[in-house]
Structure 1
Amino acid sequence: MNMYIKIKIKPKNKSYIVLPIHYNHIIQGFIYNNIDENLAEFLHEKGYLNNKRSFKMFTFSNVKGKYKINKKKKEIVFEDQIELLVSSPIEKFCRTFASNMLIKEEHILNNQQIEIVSIEVKEHKRSFEKLRLLSPIVMYSTIKKENGKKYTYYYRPGDAEYNELITNNLRKKYKSYYNKEPDNGLVKIMPINNLRFNLVKYKGFIIKGYTGLIKISGPKDLVKLGMETGLGSKNSQGFGFVKAL
């Protein structure tokens, strides 16, 4: 499809929207509740499989808007409206999410009534060279220590192994979704500026990633899929959303 959805949301009965500081699971649940019910169940319970790996094939951006942080309550208070971008290569996903945003009489976000200000279905640019990460890109390996305990090592764009890991991840996604092998070649990611480190808690787990500007090159089918479904890991939890400049 090569499309993404841009929605603007405002509170219905208040002048603000409150989210927890680590809100990814709230947005993920909102998305699942607003796509086709059977598709939501399939993605949540099974997804597209490649050996033991399951891919949900969607991603979303960080929430954008004017805000204040209440450290005591560990909340973000968004003043007036917020903006969210959602992307997937699944046509039914995009169609039903967009239609539900328009036709549902009531929308609830974090137990708050909200209104949809606008919704736009937009096309990812065909020029992929320069991208902005609108949610953190995450790439990691689970490594076993000498004592047998496992720990998670998070990589930074520019690390020696990074491009190979990104490429292998995209190849697995491609094969799981299209059921065929993609073109050969390495997807290369190069930071343009000093990337910002992000630490996000998702249902009690700590996830580390980076946002900022990157350059990307490689097989077009893999890069295109990365645009649609997110780069790196944990995309359906709100990581790896990229937008071409």
Structure 2
Amino acid sequence: MASLSGGRIRLRLYAEGRLPVTYREGLQAALYSALPSPLGERLHDEGLLGGRRPLKLFVFSRLLGLTYLKEEKAFLAQGELILYFASALDEVVGALGQGVWRRGGLEVHGLFLRLLEMGLEPLPAGERLVVEALAPITAYRTEGGKTLYFNPLNREFPHLLEANLNRKAEALGLPRGSLEVVPLGFHPRQKRLERYKGTWVEGWMGRYRLAGPPHLLRLALLSGLGAKNSQGFGFVREVEGA
């Protein structure tokens, strides 16, 4: 059986300025740009694991520390920000870290996010984990040309998250497994509708209790829960002390 490597980087950044509500697209582009050629192009165009549905196996959080300006429909950056980036592939984690270090930060929609500190975080082990979504988790099916989204209380939600993780595990040569997903303190206010390249995507924030094989839980932390991870959806991080 193959082993699961990869890692998670915590970036502490500094910026002063405004970002559009759709800054996720610019952030994704900045991350791709930080990767060396041809890795960045290959990851963007094809993914690193082929097949009928190519996998990119990386995920990133929202920019933590932004203030939403309702009147302007924009985000204000005014000081320190935190960004998490994770991948189940060592090659991607290492290259991203080196790229951001060389550039001294990331440029998103014309705003430069200056790097203050960067570190590789340890990941928890075990068969149970409480996580918090730091980017909306999206679960959906496409039927008859329509996209049907599911909330965490719908029985389809955990099934889709489990199927997604198992597809990633198989691509990495890891065994399939069962995943239990229980929302903690669910509230409708945790719903997020976010536009990505002209399409509205429904996702859910909040905390969740996960139970399953250790390699699947580690994979959830390294590649995200649910769909559209490389677009910045589904990043979860363990809740310390939970």
TM-score by length of 2: 0.89
Offset, 1:66:
4.4
Write out the 4+ residue segments of structure 1 that deviate beyond 6 Å after TM superposition: none
State the one-letter code of the partner of 2:43. L
Q: Distance in 2 between matches of 1:116 and 1:204?
A: 30
CA contact under 8 A between 1:61 and 1:135: conserved in structure 2?
yes
SS at match of 1:142: strand
Q: Distance in 1 between matches of 2:104 and 2:13?
A: 14
Greater C-alpha radius of gyration: 1
Q: Distance in 1 between matches of 2:223 and 2:60?
A: 9
Give the structure 2 partner of residue 182 of structure 1. 175
Cα separation, partners in 2 of 1:105 and 1:123, compared to 1, 3 Å: closer
Give the structure 2 partner of residue 52 of structure 1. 52
State the one-letter code of the partner of 1:198. R
Give the structure 1 partner of residue 12 of structure 2. 8
Q: Distance in 1 between matches of 2:156 and 2:94?
A: 37
Give the structure 1 partner of residue 71 of structure 2. 71
Does residue 162 of structure 2 align to residue 170 of structure 1? no
1:230-241 alignment to 2 at 5 Å?
230-241=224-235
1:1-245 alignment to 2 at 5 Å?
1-11=5-15, 16-49=16-49, 51-69=51-69, 71-72=71-72, 74-104=73-103, 107-127=106-126, 128-144=128-144, 150-176=145-171, 178=172, 180=173, 182-183=175-176, 185-195=177-187, 196-245=190-239
Offset, 1:114:
3.5
Offset, 1:95:
1.1
Q: Deviations over 1:101-125 (max 9, x none)?
A: 2233574222123321111111222
CA contact under 8 A between 2:47 and 2:54: conserved in structure 1?
yes
State the one-letter code of the partner of 1:92. E
Q: Distance in 2 between matches of 1:68 and 1:214?
A: 25
State the one-letter code of the partner of 1:54. P
Cα separation, partners in 2 of 1:104 and 1:57, compared to 1, 3 Å: same
Q: Which runs of 5+ in 2 are unaligned?
A: none
SS at match of 2:83: strand
CA contact under 8 A between 1:124 and 1:243: conserved in structure 2?
no
SS at match of 1:131: strand
Q: Distance in 2 between matches of 1:140 and 1:65?
A: 29
Number of equivalences: 232
Cα separation, partners in 2 of 1:34 and 1:161, compared to 1, 3 Å: same
Give the structure 2 partner of residue 147 of structure 1. none
Identical aligned residues as a percent? 25
TM-score by length of 1: 0.87
Cα separation, partners in 2 of 1:48 and 1:158, compared to 1, 3 Å: farther
Cα separation, partners in 2 of 1:106 and 1:85, compared to 1, 3 Å: closer
